[in-house]
Amino acid sequence: MKSIIFIETNKSGSSREAIRTAERLGYYTVLFTERINFINKREDFPDVHFMKYCDLSDMNVLIKEVKALLMKGIEATAIVSFVDPHSYMACALSDRFNINHFSTEGMKNIQNKIESRKLMKSSPITPAFWTVSTPDESKALEGEIEKKFPLIMKSPQSTGSKDVYKVANLTEYRKQFRALTKTYENQPVLIEEYLPEPQYLVEVMVVEGKVQIMAVIKQDIQYGQRFIVMGYKLLLKPGKNFFSGLKKAVEEIVSQHGLENGPCHLELRRKGLQWKLIEINARISGAGMNNMIKAAYGINLVEETLKMAMGKTPDLEPKFNKYVYMQYVTVDRKGTLEKVTGKKRAKASKGVVEVYVKPRRGQALTPPLSMGHRYAYVTAVGDTPEEAEMNAKKAASEIRFWIEEAPGENITTIIQ
């Protein structure tokens, strides 16, 4: 029996879509997870044929579990992960069983945010950055950075804008250093130049060293307590100079990280004519990104990634071209969810191709402190970029979250 083994998943988004795709393609799907709530709600995962709770940080445990599957006659055709921080571990495990078709060293370099910065240190693509691990190092750096504020401070282990802070002065810098070192004990803090320019998400597949840009997406960011991306505008026709400069930068970044085969996505900002790397991750973006690309080009990127993981040639040619926009929904104060209304109206709205609402009744909701606090999204198409955005926002405005502490009051926040 041929199987695909997945190292962790989220309940929705690209990682879950990959499992559903593997099942549709006729593979026995195996999930190794460290989320006990997934085990307890096994019925929520009908597309997972075998689920095992285990320590995903322990390679010996994972090797033992794969061997147990092989003893049962289950053939592992690929071991993959679409979830941070497990992409590299999946590659290393694949190496152990001689079924890897991605670049292990490249995945390792990408996953380590500090190593990633060091690899690109001499390139103008890299923003100014510093790392500090101890209070003494933090104090010693103050003289150098005092006139460089505002700056970004974050843990190299952070994902989805969690524990990423903009600091405007030394007082805030000291406060956030203490907070980060308390949350992430014995871990360094990464400090970076703040770039106010627009941010772009670039989805990439690297096939035998050739970089193929699958999508370029402008991110509409809400600047509050955290940097939260509320909207994604796919650039169907980026300008020639814009795209050529971007592709050159992406090719340099991918090459410096040593990724010869595999998926990745990058976040970049354009400072004047110079592209600056904000972050690179060794997987497709999560949430609704796969379906957004599918709506724009007819390409199921997680399916093509799975094909590549099995040593097959991916089909990355667009089937059509459509303008697409994805709008997220958040709430503006804490509370317990009583009900959600408007989902059917949103689905019936013009141009809508997907509506997803995450929380269930009784769940605690909060204003966004990370990407995980975005509670719904709507993806829509249009004949123009403006129409696609208007369709998505209009449909998203139909969705209402009702808080138990304030019955009858609409608390949905839409960033226009």
Structure confidence by residue, pLDDT tens digits, 246-298: 999 999 999 999 999 999 999 999 999 999 999 999 999 998 999 999 999 99
**379 is written with which tokens?**
């993806």
pTM given for the model: 0.94
Range(s) of the chain covered by CATH 3.30.1490.20: 128-193
pLDDT digits (tens, 9 = 90+) for 93-126: 999 999 999 999 999 999 999 999 999 999 999 9
Asked if CATH classification 3.30.1490.20 holds for the domain at 128-193, the reply, yes or no, is yes
Where does the chain hold its CATH 3.40.50.720 domain(s)? 2-100
Strand order in the sheet with 28-33: 50-53, 28-33, 2-7, 75-80
pLDDT (tens digit per residue) in 176-231:
999 999 999 889 999 999 999 999 999 999 999 999 999 999 999 987 667 899 99
Least confident of 160-169, 264-273, 385-394, 400-409: 400-409
Looking only at the bridges linking them, the beta strands covering 227-234 and 189-193 are unpaired
CATH of region 199-413 = 3.30.470.20
- Alpha-carbon distance of 224 to 150, in angstroms, equals 15
Mean pLDDT across 28-35: 98
Q: pLDDT band at 352, cuts 50/70/90?
A: very high
Q: How far apart are CA 337 and CA 139, in angstroms?
A: 44
Q: Where in the chain is the domain with CATH 3.30.470.20?
A: 199-413
**Using CA atoms, how far apart are residues 27 and 384, in angstroms rounded to an integer?**
39
DSSP 327-376: EEEEESS-EEEEEEE-HHHHHTSTTEEEEEE---TT-EE-S-SSGGG--E
Note the CATH number of domain 2-100: 3.40.50.720
**What rounded mean pLDDT belongs to the chain?**
94
As a residue count, the chain comes to 416
Provide the pairing of β-strand 28-33 with 2-7. parallel
What are the beta bridge partners of residue 327?
231, 378
